[in-house]
Amino acid sequence: MNVVLFGATGLAGGGVLQACLAAPDVTEVRAFVRRTTGVSDPKLREVIHGDYLQYSLIANAFAGVEACFFCLGASVSQVPDEADYRRIHQRFPLAAAKMLREKSPGATFHYLSGGRAHVNSRWMWARVKGEAERDLMDQFDAPCYPPAMIDGEPAASQPRLTIVLRPLLRLIFKPFRGTYIMNTDIGRAMLEAQRQGLRRRTFENAEMRDLADRYRATS
């Protein structure tokens, strides 16, 4: 299986990258990045690209793949303006999903969302991600994944406060399947959903961990 990955240098996407590179059923990972991941692996093909609304010059990178794992994002503390936040979390994934459909019509677009995402949320970030989930499911039958606390090796792009608080948050949330997930298990959950052909639905945190456990047990 060949896959496209967005967000490979972030916390969540970095874990998805690790899971894909370790997966026996993944042949190639095409990682769309603005800067190199620093990872060396024969399965990894980095596609350096800066405009996530326009893919005409590199459209063929979407051809011949079975899945796209879209994990690109930024914290609302880093991008507080709604127009900018919407561009990253709604317009970017929709543009990628459209190109995926054009070049690999049978491929599945998997969208990493955020916990408590909902179109009617009073929080801007949750509302935008909820609208992105709705649009991607309606237009592309996308499975969506709103994780709770994500753990793993910190990414350079993470806000420093989340890195400092991570040991405390881990202590609070780790015992509960609905509130904690390792970044590599996000990747395993996506791979298992792809394996089962699951589409057009949202997987909450505990369901993501169930999928990851199933993938781990059968791979």
pLDDT at 219 > cutoff 80: yes
In the chain, where are the structural domains located?
2-218
**113-152 residues labelled b (16+ CB within 10 A) or e (exposed):** bbbebeeeeeeebbbbbbbbbbbbbeebebbbbbbbbbbb
Residue 13 sits at the vertex; the CA angle it makes with 23 and 64, to the nearest 5 degrees, is 60
The backbone torsions φ and ψ at residue 71, rounded to the nearest 5 degrees and listed phi first, read -120, 15
Q: In angstroms, rounded to a whole number, what is the distance separating the alpha carbons of residues 60 and 104?
A: 10
For domain 2-218, the question of CATH label 3.60.15.10 is answered with: no
Query: Which pLDDT tens digit goes with each residue over 31-41?
Result: 999 999 999 99
pLDDT at 170 > cutoff 80: no
Query: Which pLDDT tens digit goes with each residue over 75-134?
Result: 898 999 999 999 999 999 999 999 999 999 999 999 999 998 999 999 999 999 999 999
pLDDT-above-70 percentage for the chain: 93
Note the pTM of the prediction, 2 decimals.
Answer: 0.92
Higher-confidence residue: 154 or 73? Answer: 73
Q: In angstroms, rounded to a whole number, what is the distance separating the alpha carbons of residues 67 and 56?
A: 19
Q: Which residue in the block uniquely carries the two structure tokens 């509130």?
A: 179
Query: Which pLDDT tens digit goes with each residue over 146-156?
Result: 999 999 776 55
Higher-confidence residue: 156 or 205? Answer: 205
pLDDT-above-90 percentage for the chain: 84
